[in-house]
Structure formats: structure tokens, C-alpha cells
């Protein structure tokens, strides 16, 4: 574990990389606080810019954006009561009342410290756990990998979106998209329907840009959405806040609540590690748990310190958790880590259980970049807060065209193919329809990235031994498959129960 | 959303059914096409088998979705006491809600086509200005602001990718 960190420090401690991480953090914070501009979008748009860098630098830049973005939502949540990203919904419950009670500086400072400290705690969890898991996963044969990915996909399907049925459909749709193009073992072109566009397959990143950026922008153009954002703007203009940040004093306040801080960070890390579940869920669950365990739950929602600590610690610690399966198994838990993995692939590095053994420098670099980015976030938030507040006022009519052009450039630069732009357009439309009818997008994305891996493992398993019952007789494989079935049944049962409760 | 509440709810369910049907169609398409793929060996999975499995699963689940949503739609229809609002009015409402989305998507498509014809720089600048003016206010100040942003951003990105990353952008037919 320490040699990984040692290697990582060696990789990251170069002036240019440190600078790039800082720039990434600033970009992330800005992305996080503009309503309608999500962290996933920011990461997707950063990727093309990192193509010219070496892998460690590129990854470090993206981790900077990730960490910054998770904390960026705090600003608009605290000052305006509007979550800048879905991950800061619970932050508005206590940080906003606190700011309204005349302590906006305190709310922001507590939030920043909670974000920072929880990131460090989740980093600690990441560094201790990830190598163990990958050690274990090294013993996996294709049977176990196949079963594991099945489990991951069903979990994603059950935690995101409206119903597990739609989640599974979305995941299968993603798998199906991934089968277009060359078959991963023999190289036959599949499902090209004689269209040249499809011969090379559908590039993962183009799907990602289309689904996460273009479809989100289209949603923001709907009439009801525009009315909502117009009302928010009015609110923003009405509140001219002046505040004083008190870093040292509030650090003491946060440290006086070690239970809330550590508890929420652990919850955030665990939720982050579950595929599909991320900051938006952790933010609310951590807040809820802090309220349950508190001696005085009534003060939650009135602007209490624990509430701010719990919600911000909850969402920022998902970063570390999210990286656990990504680094240890090559299974991304969210769109953001999916981009990280594809960035590795662009540089010719194959993610998977072997990553820690084969590329210890990269893994150590990821850990240390996360550490540095947390510090970067702390410093930029405390120094730059005054300027960040002004950025929330970027109007939609400027944001949409700029980001659309960035999407088109990003999709083009990836392979230098104009035909990819048509795929981008199609994916944007499909993604928009999916969101419109409440199919979650995360399962599609994870399906696309895991599709080739699951297919290769399935076929390799049957090539090694044509006996398919091996999936059910190998102990680890059967455990994963049983868990897969249980996770589906459990979710179905849960929805039934809550539906009945609604009726009663 | 409360503006056209009963119809909107119905329209969503209807949309879900259509999505389900489209997905079933896709599964059928993939399933039948998988048969044409070359197969190497009887005992192993060949190139077409994995997509076939996925297509079957997707088809079954989509069918399930279509069935449950159809039942829901019928129930909703029955539960409605009053006669539905005039469909024409509801459709206009639906169109109003999504007018900008359709417009911007069409402009985006034209932009993508134009990138090949008149090159990256001109089409990007034009696209940004047109989109901003469709969405936002059309005062002189706004036109100047968005035009300068469009020019600076496009040229900046062009230089960055061309010079540093050695990406060659389409220049179009004229250059």
C-alpha cells in the first residue's frame, strides 16, 4: 500500500501536473455550481483536452475536475437554496437556512471543511481496500468476472431511475450498442447494416457525450425547465450576499463533530463503491442517518452544523468510494469513473484487476492526485469563493451553444471522424428520449463500457470449458449470480411494498 | 406540468409504450441479423450468440414494459371521469413545451452537416450565434457578446487542437 503511494508521489510531484490538477479543480468547482452543468458533463468535456498529455497527467486533471465538481454544488446550495448538482440536494436543507440566518460564511466554510476532510477519509478507505479487492479479483477466472459484471449491472439497474424494469432495459440497451462493430474475439463486423458509419463500432465516449451532455442540454430547453431556471435567476438577483469565511474557527467546529464527519464519510464511501449509486444518493442518506443518530433531531433543517457536515461529507466521500471498484476491478461505478477508465483505454492501458500489478505508477498517481486535488479544492474554495459566486449567473442562452460546440469538438477529436458526429447526434436524441421517459442513463453507459468485457469473459469461459454449469458450481461465481437474482427480487419486492403503502 | 395534467400523464405512458415497442423492434432486428454472422464451431459461442442472448432478454423485458404500461393506460382512461381536454389544445401545449428542443436539435444537425461542407471554423461560429439568438434575447448587446465569445472560443479551440494535439479539422470544400 505504501509503495503505491510512494510511486504515486513520484509521478505526481511535478510542477506542471500540480498546476493542471489545480486548473481541473477550478473548472470542476465552476461546473458544479452552474445549475444545469453537471460534473459528468465537465469530465466528459475535459477528456479530449487531455489526449495530448501522458496518462498520469490526463488522469490527474480529470480527478481534479471530479473532486472540484463534487464540492462546487455547495455554493449555490448554501447561498441560494438551489442545488447546483443533484449531489447537493440535502445540502440545501441546512446550509441554506444557516445562510439565511445571517451566517452564509459559516455555512460555506463548514461545507468546505466537511468536503475536504471527508475526501481524505474516503481516500484512506480507498487506499486500504482497493489493493485487497484486486488481490482477490486476480484469482477470478472468466466465470467469476462474468458473474461479477452481471451483478454490477443489476445493481446499477436497481439503484438508478424509476423502476428496475426500466433500469435493466437501459442496461441491456447499452450492452446491445456495444456489440455493434467488430466482434471482440474474431473481429467480424457485426450489425453495420452496410452503413460505413457503424463499421468501426460506436465509440464509447461519443455515446457518453451524446447521452450525458447533449440530452441534458435539451432537457434544459423545455419550457417548464426554462421557467424554473428563470425563477431561480430572479431569486439570485434578489439575494446580494456578503460573507466572511472563517477557515480556522470553522475547522474547529467541524472537528468537534467527529461522529457525524466520520460516519457520513464512511456512508459516502460505501455508497460510492456501489455501482450506479453516487453523490446524489449518498448526500441524502448521510444527512438522513446523521439526523437519526443525533440527540436532537429537531434542529435539523433549521440551519444546524451537523446537517451541513453530514450532507457535504456524504457527497464528497463518494469520490474515494467510486474509485474502489474502478481501480480494483475495472468496473466503473458512475459515468464519471467510466470516463476515467476510457481515458486509460485511450492511452492503451487495460483496466481490470491487473491494473494495480501492471501499472502501479498509474494507480498510485490516481491516489495521490486525489489527495492533491482535495487540497486544491480546499485552497481554491477558500480563496476563490468570492469570484465563484458570480459565475452562477451564466445565462442558458450562452451556456447551451458553447457546450454544444464543445461536445461536437470532443466527439470529433476522439477519432478524427466526421461520421462520429452523426452517431453523437443520434445518441443525444436517444439520451433525451430516455430521460424524457424516465429511463436512467447510467446503466446504458456502464452497459456500453462493460459490454465487450462481459462478452469476452463469457466466451472465454465456454472456450476453456464448454460445460456451462461451471458458472453454477464454482463457489464465487455462483455467489455473484445468486446475489444478482436476489438484488432483482429484492428491488421488485421493495417497490411493491412502497406502492402498497402509497395506496393505503 | 400542471398546465395540461391529464393529457401529459397519458402522453408519458403512451411514450413509454412506444419506446418499449421500438426496443422490441430493435431486439428483433439484432436477433435476426445475428443469424447471418459467420459461426466457427458448434460447441462455442460465436460472434452472433452474445448479441442474440442480449436481444432476447431486451425483447422480453421491453414486452413486459409495454404490457404493464398498456394496463396502466387503460386504467387511467377508465379512472378519468370528465371527458379529456381537447386533444388539439393538448398537442399544441406539448409542442410549445418542446419547441426549442426540436429547433435546436435541427440546428445542431444542420451544423454537423455543414462542418463537412464549409469547414469547422465558420460553421461553429455561425452555429453558436444562431443558437444563442434562438434561445435568448435578441438585443444588439447580446449579439455582440455572443459573436465575440463564438469567435474567440472557436479560434482558440481550433488553435489548441491543431497546434498542440495535431488534430486536423475538416476545412470544407472552399479551402
**Which residues of chain A from 197 to 226 reach within 8 Å of chain B, CB to CB?**
214, 218, 221-224, 226
- Which residues does chain A have within 8 Å of residue B116's beta carbon, measured at their own beta carbons? 418
**Three-class SS string for A296-349?**
CHHHCCCCCHHHHHHHHHHHHCHHHHHHHHHHHHCCCCCHHHHHHHHHHHHCCC
CA quadruple B154, B159, B160, B166: dihedral, nearest 10: 130
Report the residue of chain B nearest A424, measured CA to CA.
B112
pLDDT (tens digit per residue) in B101-145: 999 999 999 999 998 888 888 899 999 999 988 888 888 888 888
Cell of A457: 469473459
Is the distance from CB of B17 to CB of B67 less than 8 angstroms? no
Residues forming a β-bridge with A182: A189
Buried b (16+ CB within 10 A) or exposed e, B67-103: ebbeeebeeeeeeeeeeeeeeeebeebeeebbebbee
Which of A202, A401, A425 to mutate against chain B (most B CBs within 10 Å)? Answer: A401
Which position has the higher pLDDT, B24 or B165? Answer: B24
CA-based nearest distance B83→chain A, Å:
25
Q: What is the pLDDT along chain A (504 residues), one digit of tens a residue?
A: 678 888 888 888 888 899 999 999 999 988 887 777 778 888 888 888 887 788 889 899 999 998 888 888 788 788 877 776 778 888 888 888 888 888 888 888 888 999 999 999 999 999 999 888 888 888 888 888 899 989 888 888 887 767 889 999 999 999 999 888 877 777 777 777 777 777 777 888 888 888 888 888 888 888 887 777 777 777 766 666 667 777 788 888 888 888 888 989 999 998 888 877 777 888 888 898 888 888 888 888 888 888 889 998 998 898 889 999 998 888 888 888 888 888 888 888 888 888 888 888 889 999 999 999 999 999 988 888 878 777 766 777 888 888 899 889 888 888 888 888 999 999 999 999 998 888 888 889 888 888 888 888 888 888 888 888 888 888 889 999 999 999 888 888 888 888 787 766
- Which residues does chain A have within 8 Å of residue B100's beta carbon, measured at their own beta carbons? 221-223, 226
Q: Is the pLDDT of residue B172 over 90?
A: no
pLDDT at site A393: 67
Picking from B45, B100, B167, the nearest residue to A221 by CB comes out as: B100
Picking from A165, A188, A226, the nearest residue to B37 by CB comes out as: A188
Interchain pair B165, A188: CB under 8 A: no
DSSP summary character for residue A182? E
Classify residue B119 as left (phi > 0), alpha (psi -120 to 50) or beta.
left
Nearest-CA neighbor of A67 among A330, A328, A372?
A: A372
Mean pLDDT on B32-57: 75
Which of B54, B111, B121 to mutate against chain A (most A CBs within 10 Å)? Answer: B54
In chain B, the percentage of residues whose pLDDT exceeds 90 is 26
Q: Is the pLDDT of residue B76 over 50?
A: yes
pLDDT at site B4: 43
Q: Is the pLDDT of residue B92 over 50?
A: yes
Interchain pair B61, A398: CB under 8 A: no
**Which residues of chain A from 50 to 79 reach within 8 Å of chain B, CB to CB?**
51-52
Interchain pair A169, B23: CB under 8 A: yes
Report the residue of chain B nearest A420, measured CA to CA.
B112
CA-based nearest distance A325→chain B, Å:
24
Report the C-alpha gap between A205 and A203 in whole angstroms. Answer: 6
Cell of A487: 438484488
Picking from B38, B97, B149, the nearest residue to A224 by CB comes out as: B97
Instruction: Render A354-412 in DSSP notation, one character per residue.
Output: THHHH-HHHHHHHHHHHHHHHHHHHHHHHHHHHHHHHHTT--HHHHHHHHHHHHHHHHH
Buried b (16+ CB within 10 A) or exposed e, A165-186: bbbbbbbbbbbbbbbbbbbbbe
Element (H or E) spanning A103, and its range? Answer: none
Report the residue of chain B nearest A178, measured CA to CA.
B51
DSSP summary character for residue A257? -
Report the residue of chain A nearest B168, measured CA to CA.
A416
Picking from B12, B46, B127, the nearest residue to A401 by CB comes out as: B127
CA A323 to chain centre: 9
CA A64 to chain centre: 13
In chain B, the percentage of residues whose pLDDT exceeds 70 is 83
Report the residue of chain A nearest B15, measured CA to CA.
A437
- Which residues does chain B have within 8 Å of residue A48's beta carbon, measured at their own beta carbons? 161
Is the distance from CB of A209 to CB of A202 less than 8 angstroms? no
Is the distance from CB of A342 to CB of A53 less than 8 angstroms? no
Picking from B15, B99, B124, the nearest residue to A436 by CB comes out as: B15
Angle at A84 between CA A79 and CA A89, to 5 degrees: 85
pLDDT (tens digit per residue) in B22-35: 999 999 988 888 77
Report the C-alpha gap between A258 and A398 in whole angstroms. Answer: 43
Phi, psi of A52 (to 5 degrees): -80, -10
Nearest-CA neighbor of A184 among A448, A443, A451, A414?
A: A451
Name, in order, each residue with C-beta under 8 angstroms of A28's C-beta and a sequence gap of 6 or more: A39, A42, A64, A65, A66, A67, A68, A69, A70, A71, A72, A377
Interchain pair A222, B61: CB under 8 A: no
Interchain pair B153, A402: CB under 8 A: yes
Report the C-alpha gap between A289 and A291 in whole angstroms. Answer: 5
Nearest-CA neighbor of A76 among A131, A26, A35?
A: A35
Report the C-alpha gap between A253 and A246 in whole angstroms. Answer: 11
Helix (H, G, I), strand (E, B) or coil at A54: coil
Instruction: Render B37-97 in DSSP notation, one character per residue.
Output: S----TTS--TTHHHHHHHHHHHHHHHHHHHHHHHHHHHHHHH--SPPPPHHHHHHHHHHH
Let me know if B26 is exposed, middle or buried by CB neighbors in 10 A (0-12, 13-18, 19+): middle
Provide the ipTM: 0.89
How many residues are recorded in chain B? Answer: 175
pLDDT at site B3: 43
Report the C-alpha gap between A468 and A392 in whole angstroms. Answer: 56
Amino acid at each position: 500500500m505504501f509503495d503505491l503511494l510512494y510511486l504515486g508521489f513520484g509521478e505526481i510531484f511535478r510542477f506542471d501536473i500540480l498546476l493542471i490538477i489545480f486548473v481541473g479543480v477550478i473548472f470542476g468547482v465552476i461546473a458544479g455550481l452552474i445549475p444545469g452543468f453537471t460534473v459528468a458533463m465537465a469530465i466528459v468535456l475535459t477528456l479530449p483536452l487531455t489526449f495530448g498529455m501522458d496518462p498520469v497527467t490526463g488522469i490527474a486533471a480529470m480527478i481534479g475536475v471530479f473532486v472540484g465538481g463534487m464540492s462546487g454544488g455547495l455554493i449555490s446550495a448554501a447561498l441560494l437554496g438551489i442545488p447546483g448538482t443533484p449531489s447537493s440536494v440535502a445540502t440545501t436543507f441546512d446550509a441554506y437556512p444557516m445562510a439565511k440566518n445571517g451566517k452564509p460564511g459559516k455555512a460555506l466554510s463548514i461545507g468546505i471543511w466537511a468536503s475536504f476532510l471527508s475526501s481524505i477519509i474516503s481516500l484512506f478507505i480507498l487506499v486500504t481496500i482497493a489493493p485487497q479487492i484486486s488481490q482477490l479479483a486476480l484469482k477470478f477466472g472468466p466465470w467469476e468476472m462474468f458473474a461479477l459484471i452481471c451483478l454490477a449491472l443489476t445493481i446499477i439497474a436497481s439503484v438508478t431511475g424509476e423502476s428496475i424494469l426500466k433500469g435493466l432495459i437501459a442496461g441491456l440497451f447499452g450492452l446491445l450498442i456495444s456489440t455493434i462493430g467488430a466482434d471482440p474475439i474474431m473481429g467480424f463486423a457485426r450489425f453495420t447494416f452496410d452503413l460505413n458509419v457503424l463499421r468501426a463500432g460506436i465509440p464509447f465516449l461519443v455515446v457518453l457525450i451524446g447521452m450525458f451532455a447533449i440530452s441534458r442540454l435539451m432537457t434544459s430547453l423545455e419550457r417548464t425547465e426554462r421557467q424554473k431556471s428563470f425563477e431561480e435567476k430572479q431569486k439570485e438577483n434578489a439575494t446580494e450576499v456578503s460573507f466572511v469565511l472563517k477557515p480556522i474557527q470553522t475547522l474547529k467546529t467541524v472537528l468537534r463533530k467527529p461522529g457525524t464527519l466520520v460516519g457520513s464519510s464512511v456512508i459516502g464511501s460505501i455508497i460510492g463503491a456501489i455501482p450506479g449509486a453516487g453523490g446524489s444518493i449518498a448526500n441524502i442518506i448521510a444527512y438522513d442517518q446523521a439526523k437519526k443518530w443525533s440527540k436532537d433531531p429537531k434542529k435539523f433543517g433549521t440551519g444546524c452544523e451537523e446537517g451541513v457536515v453530514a450532507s457535504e461529507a456524504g457527497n464528497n466521500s463518494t469520490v474515494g468510494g467510486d474509485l474502489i471498484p474502478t481501480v480494483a476491478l475495472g468496473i466503473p461505478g458512475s459515468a464519471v469513473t467510466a470516463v476515467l477508465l476510457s481515458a486509460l483505454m485511450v492511452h492503451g492501458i487495460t483496466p481490470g484487476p491487473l491494473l494495480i500489478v501492471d501499472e502501479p505508477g498509474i494507480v498510485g498517481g490516481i491516489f495521490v492526485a486525489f489527495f492533491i486535488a482535495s487540497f486544491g479544492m480546499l485552497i481554491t474554495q477558500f480563496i476563490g469563493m468570492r469570484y465563484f459566486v458570480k459565475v452562477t449567473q451564466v445565462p442558458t442562452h450562452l451556456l447551451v451553444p458553447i457546450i454544444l460546440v464543445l461536445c461536437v469538438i470532443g466527439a470529433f477529436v476522439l477519432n478524427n471522424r466526421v461520421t462520429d458526429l452523426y452517431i453523437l447526434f443520434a445518441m443525444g436524441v436517444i439520451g433525451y428520449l430516455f430521460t424524457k421517459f424516465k429511463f436512467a442513463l447510467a446503466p446504458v453507459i456502464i452497459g456500453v463500457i462493460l459490454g465487450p468485457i462481459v462478452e469476452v469473459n463469457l466466451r472465454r469461459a465456454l472456450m476453456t470449458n464448454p460445460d456451462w454449469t461451471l458458472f453454477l458450481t464454482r463457489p464465487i461465481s455462483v455467489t455473484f449470480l445468486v446475489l444478482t437474482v436476489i438484488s432483482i427480487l429484492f428491488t421488485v419486492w421493495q417497490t411493491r411494498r412502497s406502492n402498497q403503502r402509497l395506496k393505503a | 406540468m400542471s398546465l395540461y395534467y391529464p393529457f401529459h400523464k397519458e402522453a408519458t405512458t403512451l411514450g413509454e409504450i412506444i419506446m418499449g415497442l421500438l426496443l422490441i423492434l430493435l431486439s428483433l432486428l439484432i436477433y435476426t441479423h445475428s443469424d447471418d454472422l459467420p459461426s466457427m464451431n458448434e460447441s462455442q459461442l460465436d460472434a452472433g450468440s452474445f448479441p442474440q442472448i442480449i436481444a432476447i432478454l431486451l425483447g422480453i423485458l421491453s414486452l413486459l414494459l409495454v404490457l404493464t404500461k398498456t394496463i396502466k393506460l387503460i386504467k387511467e382512461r377508465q379512472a378519468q371521469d370528465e371527458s379529456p381536454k381537447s386533444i388539439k389544445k393538448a398537442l399544441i401545449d406539448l409542442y410549445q413545451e418542446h419547441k426549442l428542443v426540436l429547433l435546436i436539435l435541427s440546428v445542431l444537425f444542420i451544423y454537423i452537416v455543414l462542418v463537412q461542407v464549409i469547414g469547422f471554423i465558420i460553421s461553429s461560429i455561425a452555429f453558436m450565434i444562431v443558437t444563442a439568438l434562438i434561445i435568448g434575447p435578441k438585443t444588439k448587446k447580446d449579439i455582440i457578446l455572443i459573436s465575440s465569445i463564438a469567435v474567440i472560443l472557436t479560434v482558440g479551440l481550433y488553435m489548441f487542437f491543431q497546434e498542440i494535439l495535431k488534430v486536423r479539422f475538416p476545412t470544407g470544400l472552399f479551402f
